A and B are shown apart, each in its own frame.
Chain A
Amino acid sequence: MEVKINRLKRYFGLTRAVDDISFSFSSGEIVAFIGSNGAGKTTTMRILATLDEPTEGDVELDGVSAVNHPEQVRKLIGYMPDSLPTHRDMTVHEYLDFFARAYSIPSEKRAQTIDDVQSFTGLGDIRNNTLHSLSKGMKQRVSLGRALIHDPPVMVMDEPAAGLDPRARIELRELLRILADQGKAILISSHILTELSEICGGAVIIEKGKIAVAGTLDEILSQQAPQTVLAVRPAGGLEEARQALMLLPNVENVAVVGNELEARISGGEEEASQILSELMKQGIQIAEFKRRGGDLESLFMQITGKEDEGNGK
């Protein structure tokens, strides 16, 4: 399943909430959709979920247009909105049962489908609780369960980790990994960027309705980061290794951090591998050697900072 967002525009009067954005993702991929508040994330996701209509452009799921055939697209998409179910007069089971019926899951299969979703999302024990009485984490699970009830190949998740405690976040992360392994294409927006960088293969950063950066996470981090940071843990003496590193070309700075050396180098992967082989040649024993790119958080700050500067802020 390939999801193509093609030259999407959504204007509200003079406000350009989404201004000509295009990107795509496919089955098995988790793509982070990042942007500040009001950047256009929710509007894009609402269009993807067929809840809103674009001013121009389209979204296609394997060629099926969300504008022309929203009913067909709804079968293919599981949308997890930023609002959570809070009904006082509905239990978890009734809520899932309603959506199972709404997606025309036949009576014979419905009970089993609901049980499967409840056990996958860990809702089995609270199936008879009313939605209003649930914690935020549990409501998120119900929302996820609802989005999964018809087993859609594409998941669109708007801020699924907002307000979750660390344990719930880790659990959500694991669920998302499993879903991606099952072959679902997942577009996820969140402000918790460290979480995203651990599970996402790709990222789209939007700012003021336009795409600032898009690509695989490795690509965009290496393209955007001005320097590469190497973390080196020598098996022998720390000072000896530091001296050796300092003398190598491309190394700009070396700092001791605990039992590790943190070296800032100019260049990317090629330069890093040269440094490693030079150290080995000089007989420095290396226990651990890893390249740290820029992280998603600093990249986001860098991009949104540039935008602000550009606007004279």
Chain B
Amino acid sequence: MKTAGALVHALDSRMNPIVVKELRQISRGKFLTVILIGFLFTQLTVTGAVTLYSRGSANPGPQLYLTLLRFLTGICSALIPAYAGFRLAKERSNTNRDLLFISTLKPASIVWGKTLSAAILAALIYSVSMPFIVMTYILRGIDLPSAFLQIALSYVFTLTMIQLGIMIGCMPASRIVRGTAGLIVLIVMPLFVLGSMGVFFQAYYSGAVATGFLTAERDALGTLGVASICAAYAGALFLVSTAFVSPPASNRAFVPRVYVTAVWAVSIVVVFAWSEFAYSADLIVEWMTIFSFIFSMALMFSISERDRLGARVRQAIPHSRSRRALAFLFYSGSAGGFIWASIGVVMTFIVGSIAASAFAASISSSKFERLFLNLGFMAFNSWTAAASAVLLQRGYLKNRVARVHTWLISFGIEALTGLLWSIYMISAGSQLVSFNFMGMSRFREDPPIAAAAVIAAVTVSFCIPWIFRQKAAFKPLPLKTAEMQWTGSACV
């Protein structure tokens, strides 16, 4: 009995306080009741409607199954992340600081607790949907293991979206900025994740079919691959959320930068191995697109970090010159982040060039050339936007726009340049295929990459003194810190 009691105490002490709090609040609030009843009612309606509509069909199961799965994924990947993000944003608001941030809870614990409680809520809603989904089996045309595999993938996607919602809730910005950025990210990011999943499936299956992979292995490996992509995104979002919640004085950029670099390096090996195995460079093309985009984003976000490091980060700066140079790239700091992201973009292109020559037989050179032009154009525009934002915020808007909001200026410039380039291309007689604010509008003709490169080079050259200043200041604290002088008026 004593052992059982001790075990209960030990478990209770180890439970994440945020999970306990969140679950208590969720069970007391109206959200859960409303969503569960609403969900049950809607599923009944959908099931009834689809069954009636497909009367006479030999296998109505797949149609109902797909409708229910889309409905479940849509609701869970939109509502639960929004709910989790909103709750966190409310607790993190500057006017209501009574809840989260005045305790000894570690930032990672806070984010993990929020994620876990939202994941439990999602699992509850998925479990409510299970009887309906299993019922589709009775209607025939469904293979249950495949159905469960797809539900598992849908849940993994929902978890990624939950992490996204939490990241937006953690963003250090005003309610308006957070709301606007949140709305944009909530629209763009699911498309990005779904796109990556789709591209992976396509590339994977075409390769698998070409090499005559066994079906069971193919499914399991393919699902694992997609789940890994979602996990990689969720991991990055988790680390960024933790960095947002961490004290400003901490070295909060370090872990996300190391993580992205590690995922980048590991993914090269995986993608090259698969391309070699499947005699297809499709996955490399998508890998280049994804990482060019990620590093271009990193360029624009890293400049929002601080220029001057506090004692807390400086204490951790290595004394050896070579290690310090490496630390400059990975430690918190705007110029270091700018250089790290720039190296990321350049290295992605170098790896892409190696791939282009290694897999020259499996992909047309014009496709690779086109890819390089489009991604290069986007990268140059991102350099221009980020460097201009640095010059503007540090030079002219210091007192109007906070340094942490420099990314907003950068995105504004990126959108403006994207628009101006599109106008220029259209006026020069090019045919617009698709418009994109991130400077990725597609035209039938090649983008003016040389002009974009010159503009980027000129703008970045103006930032060189800013980079050198920070590099020079990136020094560890002296080993023995002098006693601080006590000069103020002391009382009592």
Q: Which residues of A contact B13 (CB under 8 A)?
A: 104, 106-107
- A26 lies within 8 A of chain B by Cβ: yes
Total chain A interface residues with beta-carbon distance under 8 A: 59
A31 contact from B97, B487, B491, Cβ within 8 A: B491
**Nearest CB in chain A: distance from B96 CB, A:** 6
CA distance A103 to B29 in the complex (A): 25
A14 contact from B15, B25, B311, B399, Cβ within 8 A: B399
CB–CB B488/A103 < 8 A: no
**Nearest CB in chain B: distance from A5 CB, A:** 8
Q: Which residues of B contact A198 (CB under 8 A)?
A: none
Given contacts A68-B312, A70-B247, are A101 and B489 in contact (CB under 8 A)?
Answer: no
CB–CB A83/B486 < 8 A: no
A94 contact from B24, B97, B486, B489, Cβ within 8 A: B24
Nearest chain A residue, comparing its CB with the CB of B13: A107
CB–CB A103/B104 < 8 A: yes
- A296 lies within 8 A of chain B by Cβ: no
Q: Which residues of B contact A75 (CB under 8 A)?
A: 104
- B95 lies within 8 A of chain A by Cβ: yes
A90 contact from B24, B101, B106, B492, Cβ within 8 A: B24
**Nearest CB in chain B: distance from A225 CB, A:** 17
- B140 lies within 8 A of chain A by Cβ: no
CA distance A31 to B491 in the complex (A): 9
Nearest chain B residue, comparing its CB with the CB of A185: B492
CA distance A99 to B454 in the complex (A): 56
Q: Which residues of A contact B98 (CB under 8 A)?
A: 81, 83-85, 143, 146
Q: Which residues of A contact B486 (CB under 8 A)?
A: 4, 6, 22
CB–CB A6/B488 < 8 A: yes
CA distance A20 to B29 in the complex (A): 46
- B315 lies within 8 A of chain A by Cβ: yes
- B212 lies within 8 A of chain A by Cβ: no
Interface residues on chain B, size class: 35 or more
CB–CB B247/A23 < 8 A: no
Given contacts A75-B104, A89-B28, A106-B9, are A98 and B491 in contact (CB under 8 A)?
Answer: no
**Nearest CB in chain B: distance from A57 CB, A:** 9
CA distance A22 to B485 in the complex (A): 11
CA distance A67 to B481 in the complex (A): 15
What string of 1s and 0s marks CB contacts (under 8 Å) between B227-249 and chain A?
A: 00000000000000000000111
What string of 1s and 0s marks CB contacts (under 8 Å) between A87-110 and chain B?
A: 111100010011101111011100
Interface-central residue, A58, A79, A107, by most chain B CB under 10 Å: A107
Residues of chain B at the chain A interface (Cβ within 8 Å)? 8-10, 12-13, 15, 17, 20-21, 24-25, 28-29, 95-99, 101-106, 247-249, 310-312, 315, 398-399, 484-492
Residues of chain A at the chain B interface (Cβ within 8 Å)? 4-7, 13-14, 20-26, 29, 31, 49-51, 53, 58, 65, 67-68, 70-71, 74-75, 79, 81, 83-90, 94, 97-99, 101-104, 106-108, 143, 146, 150, 201-204, 211, 214-216
22 contacts between A and B (CB under 8 A): A7-B488, A20-B488, A22-B486, A23-B489, A23-B491, A49-B102, A58-B484, A65-B311, A68-B310, A71-B104, A74-B102, A81-B97, A81-B98, A83-B96, A83-B98, A89-B24, A89-B25, A98-B20, A98-B21, A104-B104, A106-B13, A202-B492
**Closest 5 pairs between A and B when the two form their complex, measured CB to CB:** A22-B488, A101-B17, A102-B103, A202-B492, A214-B491
